[in-house]
Structure 1
Amino acid sequence: MERSHSGRIILHVDMNSFYASVEIAFNQALKNKPLAIAGNVEERKGIIVTCSYEARAKGVKTTMPLWQARKLCPDLIVMKPNFERYRKASKAMFDILREYTDLVEPVSIDEGYMDITNCVGQTPLEIPKQIQQRLLDELLLPCSIGVAPNKFLAKMASNMKKPLGITILRKRELSDKLWPLPVAEMHGVGNKTAKKLETINIKTIYDLAHGDSIQLKKLLGINGELLKQRANGIDTREVDPDSIYEFKSIGNSTTLAKDTTNEKEINDVLRRLAHSVMVRMKRKEVLTTRIFISIRFGNLKTITRSKKLENPIKNEEDIYSVAKQLFFANWNEEPIRLLGITAQDLLGKNDAIKQLDLFSFEEDAKEEPLLSVMNKINERYGNQLIQRGVKGALETDISPGTSFNKDFLRD
């Protein structure tokens, strides 16, 4: 018989320094040492992805340049990311969570929500304690857990005590635990939004909770009212186990080894990014109707540009062509530090209807005989037995990108 509660009980399980913790679990000689995971470890401009709490104690922080981290912590141990290792650890972690309830919603590779409202036989506090201990005993991985009546408050609670914290946040405790915090510390409010809110004298979560709705909507659009509701502890979202498979974009970006104005180097980077995006689109069986690019200059100024496409595309050459056109239309010939390509407004392959026009009809007609043969074979032996596309070797491409956190469940 299921136990009922007057309200929901939601957990937010947040792994502590996940990449670093996985490396420590894999090699116990790294335990209690300042460890950082960083991209481009051979380069002075490499960036810290995450670091152990021993490194944090020395002032090392996520997104900090490697040269600065080593200056603060000369004995810092720096390792390249091992994404396949982190993916396996993540799956093992979520397997444990699903032993308690089917209502587990992965948010990224190292965090997820659980709805334990109707779990039988244990109190709401016993379950997070047991989960935290099991993850530590069985996987050697520490986590913090927030316990609350909704997803937003559970997320805020899990951030309140790290590492190895368990924090309960009830609505009646908002005035003591939540409202005094700076608004920039609220989940869903980034630095840019916090600066905007400061222009209307909103500096704390209390200020946001009691802000003028019309003023907030004028400043932030529909998101203003949503943030005000969150600040008041209102969040009606369900824990959705399938939400990880819902995605609106697939992207990748890379920081160049050194700032460059060399057009060949820039074209090579754009092509590699287009290839990476194409591989992930192929794996997800989607097409894109908008290409979005990011350009960061040597002075750290960043611009973004996008182009809406008349017809959906999926091929590397098409993605590269649009991205290249966008780049050179907006490049001021200043040195480039970072480039990114994102495929947006995605459509499932079976849902994408191409608008044939005078320019594409002839090319599509040439492909029709081949497509017909493929369809007949698939109808006889099973759907997707034969597909058009790149060489099979690309299926094993697991090159890291900015969307790895959202892409980790791929098989």
Structure 2
Amino acid sequence: MHRVIFLVDMNAFFISCESTRHPEIIGKPAAVAGDPKNRSGIILTANYEARKFGVKTTMVLHRVLKLCPNIIIIPPDHCFYKQKSKEVMGILSKYTPVIEKNSIDEAWLDMTGCERIFGKPHQTAECIMKHINSELGLDCSIGISENKFLAKMASEMKKPLGITELWKKDIELKLWPLPVEFMHGIGEQTARKLREMKIKTIGELALFDRRYLIKKFGKVGAEIHQLANGIDVSPVTPHSHKDVKSIGKSITLAHDISDIESAKVILMELSDKVGMTARKYNKKGHTVQINIKYSNFQSITRQRTITETYLVKEIYSAGIEMLEKNWNEQLPVRLLGISLSGFSKYNEDEQISMFNMLEMDNERSSVRKIDKIEDAIDNIRKKYGDSIIKPGLLIKKSKN
């Protein structure tokens, strides 16, 4: 059966979400950006009215204001965007159960065999586009092909509100004339190296000596040569929480800190969030890692192995131990992060000696008590919000 793959890409997603609750920005230059006072003053998403002035993602705010003095800046609300993303994915799931979320604002859909239900691919894409807009007030572009790569490339060709079909028979006419840096899977450095090799278009890459590309780039060389020729056999693979490899939280601080006690409070808050997420997905890990970025932008990461856990107390204890060993009073810190990884696929029972059973029972009893306490905290937070209960260390700090 002929494969049919869609890539649904939400247009200017963050700012489009904001327009659903701030209709006054519709038709005016607007963007979602962090607070410059908190040193996160960069553009996350700009609407198409702002893009006409040259405003682009990752631009710093002071430059944006020179290009477009009247731009409306809205601070980011990631919880809101995640909720909107869930609603989008909910609509897409009505058209096919085989969905692979590529990011918060785009997903591949395997629509193979769905023509009998929804009609031809272009007709189905129009239906999806209208469904999302009428129900959520959001716009999207859709790429259609027989594989994920070509569907992704097609989705980039016409924005906003574009529906583009790009089949293998079309690649010489539609894909090959495009600049090599436009190709999905090629980063800035690879594009620069390709240009140095006199490879300027995707077509030139497709027709280039494959063996030389492998010699120059290794495995990547073979992959980009295949993609340039429209070859991609990767399946649309639905993700689930079982695929999670790591759960982490980090924060760029409003001000550099040199006081380790302040750092401990921040690490407690981050550990609390990591533990809550790990418990939500029942993911017990045995590797805790911390990340410290200094004011000079140098970073260090440290990790240690612990007994498998998802308990906040144990995640935090491991993090604190590493923080204390690696704290440098001479280097102010601007970012802190902590993560849990090393999740086992199976919770297998170990065979133990009868002489260790009493000790193990006492240990498990203690862990179960903490487990029940954290369960109770999770349930209260689900009902009344995350801020209803905070660790004592955080409350003490807020009073100071």
With the length of structure 2 as denominator, give the TM-score of the two structures. Answer: 0.79
Q: In structure 2, what is the Cα distance between the partners aligned to 1:297 and 1:175?
A: 49
Matched residues in 2 for 1:97 and 1:103: separation?
Answer: 10
Identity across the alignment (%): 38
RMSD: 3.7
Is 1:391 paired with 2:360?
no
- The separation in 1 between residues aligned to 2:373 and 2:202, in whole angstroms, is 52
Unaligned runs of 5+ in 1: 375-383, 399-411
1:4-403 equivalence runs, <5 A: 5=1, 7-40=2-35, 43=38, 45-119=40-114, 120-121=116-117, 122-194=119-191, 204-206=201-203, 208-210=205-207, 222-243=219-240, 245-301=242-298, 303=299, 305-307=301-303, 309=305, 311-324=307-320, 326=322, 329=326, 333-347=330-344, 351=347, 364-369=360-365, 389=375, 391-392=377-378, 393-395=380-382, 396-397=385-386
Q: How many angstroms does 1:206 deviate by?
A: 4.0
Per the alignment, residue 378 of structure 1 pairs with none
8 Å contact 2:241–2:281 — kept in the other structure? no
From the superposition, tell whether residues 372 and 104 of structure 1 become closer, same or farther in structure 2 (CA, over 3 Å): closer
Corresponding residue of 2:393:
none
Displacement after TM superposition at 1:13 (Å): 0.4
Moved more, 82-91 or 136-145: 82-91
1:41/1:79 contact within 8 Å kept: no
Name which of structure 1's ranges 187-196 and 115-124 shifts more when overlaid on structure 2: 187-196
Instruction: For residue 316 of structure 1, report the CA deviation from its aligned partner.
Output: 2.9
Letter of the 1:316 counterpart? V
Q: Select between 215-224 and 19-28 the one with higher mean Cα deviation.
A: 215-224
1:104–1:239 Cα contact (<8 Å) kept = yes
By how many angstroms is 1:37 displaced?
A: 1.8
Q: Considering fraction of residues, name the structure with more helix.
A: 2
The offset of 1:31, in angstroms, is 0.6
TM value normalised by structure 1: 0.77
CA contact (8 A) 1:44 1:66 kept: no
Partner of 1:162: helix, strand, or coil? coil
Question: In 2 relative to 1, CA 185–258 (structure 1 residues): closer, same or farther, beyond 3 Å?
Answer: farther
Q: 1:269 to 1:369 in 2, by over 3 A?
A: closer
SS of structure 1 residue aligned to 2:261: helix
For the pair shown, the structure with the greater C-alpha radius of gyration is 2
Q: 1:194 to 1:253 in 2, by over 3 A?
A: farther
Q: Deviations over 1:321-354 (max 9, x none)?
A: 4445555538694443333333333235x53778
Asked whether the equivalents of residues 310 and 355 of structure 1 are also in contact (C-alpha less than 8 Å), the reply is no
SS in 2 for 1:236: coil
Note if contact 1:279-1:397 (Cα within 8 Å) is conserved in structure 2: no
Residues 210, 222 of structure 2: 8 Å contact kept? yes
1:8-33 per-residue CA deviation (whole Å, 9 max, x = no partner) reads: 11110010111211111223222112
User: What residue number does 1:381 align with?
Assistant: none
**Per-residue CA distance 1:23-69 (angstroms, 9 max, x = gap):** 11223222112222233465464333222122222233223333333
